[in-house]
Every structure is written in C-alpha cells, then in structure tokens.
Amino acid sequence: MSPEKSVTRFETGEFDKLKSSLVIYRCALKMIETKLTNLNDYYAAFYEGNPIEHTAYRIKSPESIAGKLKARNLPITAEAAVANLLDIAGARIICSYAKNIREIADIIRAQHDLTIVSEKDYLSAPKASGYRSYHIVAEVRPGIQFGEQCCPVEIQIRTSAMDFWASLEHKVRYKYGGQVPDHFSRELQLCAEKINELDERMYLIHELVELVNE
Ligand code: 0O2
C-alpha cells in the first residue's frame, strides 16, 4: 500500500501568473534545444562515434515547482519560483561514456552566447543517494520582446546507465513521498556503485576495441 501523498498547488491567481512566467522558459529551452541539436549534427557528421545518445527537454510541472518551493519553505508564488528555482527549464544529454560528459560540458561552457551561472559535479562528488550526473545552469537571452531578461536552463549530462538509475530512484522517491525506506536507499546506493563500475568497465572495452582497430 502506498503512503498518502499530499500535493501542493498554486492558488488560482498565482497559477495564472506562473503560466505567463513560463513563456520565457519555453523560449529559452527551445534555444538550448537548437544548440544541442546542432552539436549532435556536428558530431554525427564529423565523428565516427557520436558521444550523444539522445537528448530530452522538459518544463517543470506546476505541481513539481510548488513541491520544490514548499520543500524550501518558500511561498507558493510565481515570483518565488522565478527568483529561486534554476531548473524550471531543463535539458538532459545522455551520452555513451562518462568521459564524454566532461567533453560535452567543455563545449557548452565555451559557447559565447551562453552565460554559465553554476556547475555541479556529481560525478566527482556523488550525492548521498548515489546520484551521479553533471549539471550546468546556463542563461540565455530569449529575445528583445522580453526586454533584457535572461532565463536559466539546467542542463544535466549523464550516461545511459546513470539515467536508468536516476529514473528508477526518482520513481521510488515519488512513491514514498520523499521518505524512501532505508532498505531501498541502501539497495539504490549499491546499484549506483555497480552502475559506475560497469560504466568504467564498458569504457575500457570500448578503448580496447579502438586500439585493436588502429
Ligand atoms: P525533477 O522532477 O527532475 O525536476 P534540490 O537538491 O533539488 O533541492 P537543486 O540545487 O535544485 O536542489 O538540486 P540539484 O542538485 O541541482 O538537482 C536538481 C535536479 O537534479 C533534480 O530536480 C533532479 O532532476 C536531479 N537530481 C538531483 N539529485 C537527485 C537524486 O538524488 N536522484 C535523482 N533521481 N535525481 C536527482 P528535481 O526538482 O528533484 O526533480
């Protein structure tokens, strides 16, 4: 039996304000999507092994925004969301090997029309949950119609195996309303370690095959 989950929501007036606030995030996300599609096309045309497996894009749902504001003891308002949350617009890059993650992060960092706001290296320092990924928050300027306003987009870069783990852990955490029982947490931490080990071993196989080809 699943425990009861109480859903935090925006009040009607605030919900309408949030809907208007989300327009600029959608525009910013489309700009990042174009940039990453171009990067993917470049790799596909000029590299033998494209390190990008696939990309995904999402705007955080109002329920999820409200839940995050509540968890941080912030008011459930559009203003608080815009002022405090950097991951309302999110892009995810799934790549083949952990080594590709840093290469892709370097390319993103070097783009002149992006302003890097923050970076979190959960590869060198995984979260207590076992979560591994590289996060970059980049700001873009979606257009003069929004004045001088910049808009943040969180870009998460990880391997397929790390992504598989993160989806499962997210599902478990959601199921238990954030209070994951200890035995599940331990099992997930163990899986994260094993996944990391597998990522490294598969990369070694890949490198050996490259050597043999040479
Ligand atoms: P969703 O549904 O993906 O949008 P926070 O730790 O979230 O309070 P911050 O600084 O926003 O504070 O977090 P951080 O570390 O940059 O992480 C933001 C996002 O990374 C999360 O968004 C998740 O997508 C992912 N993430 C971070 N830690 C974990 C983890 O332990 N497990 C999984 N599965 N994902 C994680 P949201 O809002 O949590 O979720």
Q: Against a cut of 0.75, is the pTM above it?
A: yes
Q: Which pLDDT value is given to residue 5?
A: 56
Average the pLDDT over 145-156 and give the result. Answer: 95
Q: What is the mean pLDDT of the chain?
A: 93
Q: Is residue 4 over pLDDT 90?
A: no
Distance CA 10, CA 197 (A): 42
Q: Is residue 89 over pLDDT 70?
A: yes
Average the pLDDT over 25-45 and give the result. Answer: 96
- Give residue 149 CA to ligand 1 midpoint distance, Å: 25
Residue 34 has a CB neighbour count (10 Å cut-off) of 10
Q: Which pLDDT value is given to residue 85?
A: 98
- Catalytic, 63? Answer no
Q: What percent of the chain is modeled with pLDDT above 70? A: 97
Average the pLDDT over 127-131 and give the result. Answer: 96
**In which band, very low, low, confident or very high, does the pLDDT at 2 lie, cut at 50, 70 and 90?**
very low
Average the pLDDT over 85-98 and give the result. Answer: 96
What is the distance of C-alpha 34 from the center of its chain? 17
Q: Exposed, middle or buried by CB within 10 Å (0-12, 13-18, 19+), for 153?
A: buried
Q: Is 87 in the pocket of ligand 1 (CB under 6 A)?
A: yes
Q: Which pLDDT value is given to residue 1?
A: 36
Tokens 């080809």, located at residue:
213
Residue 43 has a CB neighbour count (10 Å cut-off) of 19
Q: Which pLDDT value is given to residue 49?
A: 80
Q: Is residue 22 over pLDDT 80?
A: yes
Least confident of 26-30, 46-50, 105-109, 148-152: 46-50
Q: Is residue 19 over pLDDT 80?
A: yes
Q: Which pLDDT value is given to residue 6?
A: 66
| Atom 5 in ligand 1: residue holding the nearest Cα | 68
Least confident of 65-79, 115-129, 150-164, 165-179: 165-179
Q: Is residue 163 over pLDDT 50?
A: yes
Contacts with 28 (C-beta within 8 Å, 6 or more apart), sequence order = 89, 140, 142, 151, 152, 153
Q: Which pLDDT value is given to residue 123?
A: 96
Q: Which pLDDT value is given to residue 67?
A: 93
Q: Of 85, 131, 155, 169, which is best to mutate to test ligand 1, by the most ligand atoms within 8 angstroms of its C-beta?
A: 131
- Give residue 27 CA to ligand 1 midpoint distance, Å: 22
